Amino acid sequence: MSRRAQFLEVLGIPAEWVLRQRAGGEPQALALPEAGEVATVDAPLSAAPAALAALAALAAPAAPAVSIAEAPPVAEAPVGAPAQAAAPTPPAEAPLTIDRAPAMPSLVPAGPEPGSAQVDREADIATMDWPALEAAVAGCTACGLCQTRTNTVFGVGDRQAEWMLIGEAPGENEDQQGEPFVGQAGKLLDNMLGALGLARGRNVFIANVLKCRPPGNRNPEPDEVAQCEPFLRRQIALVKPKVIVVLGRFAAQSLLRSTTPIGKLRGTVHTYEGIPVVVTYHPAYLLRTLTDKARAWEDLCLAREVHDRAGAGA
């Protein structure tokens, strides 16, 4: 079984549609593998969503034809009848406008004011070693999240890892256990790491932008991100990874200082302080949107390629 087939099996993706070839090289219709046949990688995985979309389009009912009734004939005025004023021309219709959903707020916080206490705080955090940094996170009261947390979630893994994974914020399970990515999303992340030959505590450090859980798992607020980001920046500086994988829109926009949607951020290698950054979907999102597991696989393959190149150049 190929590495790709093993990866898809780990992520729980069913058998792929396979593009078969006729004699002479002409493409044939997509078909599932025969019974007992291993799903092969004859066509790029990126072709699968397009093929499924095409099949969905074929299955969609055709829109009914619109019939246009003939206009009734205009009666001619009798000869000698007084001329009537022409009917006023109706005003042109206003152009059709479409109400669109408001864009989701950005998590990119504004920088601290020069000379403010926040500048001094960030400068202090930037000099901390691991014990001091962990103690600072555990005792942090910089924002209101300290009032509702059960535990801070500092991060877990190899502190000299070549891979660093960064998520958004702790959820309920993380808040209870004090560790990032536990529960069902954590199990999926562990499977994704296993498909790359990685594991928690072995050449991987896992952290979040926020170290405390937002109540009700709500989205982080920009001021909360601004208070927690210095901790994450110091963690990255101490780990010195060869590649960073960012999980989810909030983490990506925060780390890359961008408002670009995640769909446009993924598939491209970004940089943070000279470190290559690959963006992919959050595991919790993948649990709800199984079709995007294939895209997450592509992102992890890109990250592995970036890591291997960085190792070759070391």
In the sheet that 270-272 helps form, which strands lie side by side, from edge to edge?
156-157, 204-208, 163-167, 243-247, 275-280, 270-272
pLDDT of the residue at 70: 41
pLDDT of the residue at 208: 97
Alpha-carbon Rg for the chain, nearest whole angstrom, is 28
Q: pLDDT band for position 101 (50/70/90)?
A: very low
Of 308, 244, 305, residue with least CA distance to 272: 244
Mean pLDDT over 286-308 rounds to 94
Biggest alpha carbon–alpha carbon distance for the chain: 105
pLDDT of the residue at 10: 60
Q: pLDDT band for position 80 (50/70/90)?
A: very low
Q: Is the pLDDT of residue 305 over 50?
A: yes
Mean pLDDT of the chain: 76
What CATH number matches the domain at 117-312, 3.40.470.10, 2.60.40.10, 3.20.20.80, 3.30.300.20?
A: 3.40.470.10
Measured at the CA of 149, the angle between CA 148 and CA 155, to 5 degrees, comes to: 155
Percentage of the chain with pLDDT > 70? Answer: 62
Residue, of 11 and 98, whose pLDDT is higher: 11
Q: Picking from 102-106, 206-210, 263-267, which range would have the lowest pLDDT averaged per residue?
A: 102-106
Q: How many of the other CB atoms lie within 10 Å of CB of 219?
A: 13
pLDDT of the residue at 11: 61
Residue, of 86 and 208, whose pLDDT is higher: 208
**Can you give the residue ranges of every domain in the chain?**
3-44, 117-312
Mean pLDDT over 253-278 rounds to 94
The two three-digit tokens of residue 250, written as one number: 């909030």
Question: Residues 129-182: pLDDT tens digits?
Answer: 999 999 999 999 999 999 999 999 999 999 999 999 999 999 999 999 999 999
Where on the phi/psi map is residue 278: left (φ > 0), alpha (ψ -120 to 50), or beta?
beta
Backbone angles phi, psi at 161, to 5 degrees: -70, 155
Q: Is the pLDDT of residue 57 over 70?
A: no
- Residue 81 one-letter amino acid: A
String of DSSP letters for 8-29: HHHTT--PPPEEEE-TTS-EEE
- CA–CA gap between residue 290 and residue 292 (Å, rounded): 5
Percentage of the chain with pLDDT > 90? Answer: 56
String of DSSP letters for 229-265: HHHHHHHHHHH--SEEEEESHHHHHHHHT----HHHH
